[in-house]
Amino acid sequence: MKTRRQFLTSAAALGAVPCVAAAAESVPGAIDAHVHVWTPDISKYPLSPNYKVGDMKPPSFTPEELLAHSKPAGVSRIVLIQMSFYGTDNSYMLDVMKAHPGVLSGVAVIDEKAPEVAETMTELAKSGVRGFRIRSSKANAESWLSSPEMNAMWTAGAAQNLSMCLLADPDSLPAALKMCQKHPATPVVIDHFARIGVSGTIEKADLGNLLKFAELENVCVKTSAFYALGKKKPPYDDLGPMIRELRDAFGADRLMWASDCPYQVVDGHSYDASISLIRDRLDFLSEDERDWMLRGTAERVFF
């Protein structure tokens, strides 16, 4: 996998895939950097003991159901995020990835406290996994610095170019930043703007804490889950100022768009409304910046 510097050089030499700004057109080669899939076949793919069938809402969201939303929007590749229904059994995600070679990448969930965590990461990487999801609550993040297993995980991530993908609460950001500073060579992806705005308000202090990660060049941020943040209503223009500040601090080449399906396609929301915010609506983004957010950054990190 290319480093950020190598990717920037090669992209300039080859020419970036054009990003179409017209609302009636799609974006060739776009990548959705965050999607969950699951199957109602619980005989072949049992649920974690922490979940029951009634928790699966919608009851089914298979790759075929996903592609019905993503393909019309011009999305050609997708990053799958291990669904919590399955705990640390990544079998369904891995089987789906195997059935769609070159189209799907994956972010797995593993037992972070297991002594063989680095070996597990190595094995999953052989199957196309490019990152590992970590729940970043305030209490969890504050324990990371002194955890031998977590430090082994981050060290392995640096050695193998495997990303730590943080499902972060806003109040966990100061502690998570310390871990990133301790492991500056470890790739890190912060999901869903660190969920800033889930309360309905974009808190300046929380955004300020997220912007501090920009000093670390191996940290990227997903601009995603628009349905859950701010006003939580399409066309999601109220998220524009936060995206602009992130662009100014990180650069578009460290931001990536994602839908967070299937949650983006229920309750009055839609796939097209999500991609359209980056593709069509934010006039402060250049075509090159749109291309990084809709393709280039995710391609560098996950493919």
Q: Average of pLDDT values for 123-152?
A: 96
Helix (H, G, I), strand (E, B) or coil at 162: coil
CATH number of 4-8+31-302: 3.20.20.140
pLDDT of residue 175: 98
pLDDT of residue 17: 30
DSSP 133: E
Asked if residue 11 has pLDDT above 50, the reply is no
**pLDDT per residue as tens digits for the range 216-244:** 999 999 999 999 999 999 999 999 999 99
Asked if residue 142 has pLDDT above 80, the reply is yes
| Average of per-residue pLDDT values in the chain | 91
Cα–Cα dist 272/219, whole Å:
27
List the domain boundaries for the chain.
4-8+31-302
Residue of 263, 301, 259, 302 lying closest to 279 (CA atoms): 259
Q: Average of pLDDT values for 156-179?
A: 98
Alpha helices in 58-116 (DSSP H): 63-70, 91-99
pLDDT of residue 6: 44
Q: Average of pLDDT values for 253-261?
A: 98
What's the pTM? 0.90
Asked if residue 285 has pLDDT above 50, the reply is yes
The alpha-carbon radius of gyration of the chain (Å, integer) is: 18
CB-based contact 56:263 (threshold 8 Å): no
CB-based contact 232:192 (threshold 8 Å): no
Q: Average of pLDDT values for 142-171?
A: 97
**Please, is 6 exposed, middle or buried when counting C-beta atoms within 10 Å of its C-beta (0-12, 13-18, 19+)?**
exposed
The mean-pLDDT minimum among 7-21, 157-171, 277-291 falls in 7-21
Cα–Cα dist 163/218, whole Å:
9
CB-based contact 106:95 (threshold 8 Å): no
**pLDDT per residue as tens digits for the range 34-63:** 999 999 999 999 999 999 999 999 999 999
pLDDT of residue 28: 52
Asked if residue 25 has pLDDT above 50, the reply is no
**How far are the Cα atoms of 110, 250, 303 from residue 133, in angstroms, in the given order?**
8, 21, 17
**How far are the Cα atoms of 159, 169, 173, 182 from residue 235, in angstroms, in the given order?**
40, 24, 28, 39
Confidence bin at 16 (pLDDT 50/70/90): very low
Asked if residue 133 has pLDDT above 90, the reply is yes
CA 179 to chain centre: 19
The mean-pLDDT minimum among 10-19, 88-97, 179-188, 275-284 falls in 10-19
Q: Average of pLDDT values for 124-140?
A: 97
Cα–Cα dist 159/157, whole Å:
6
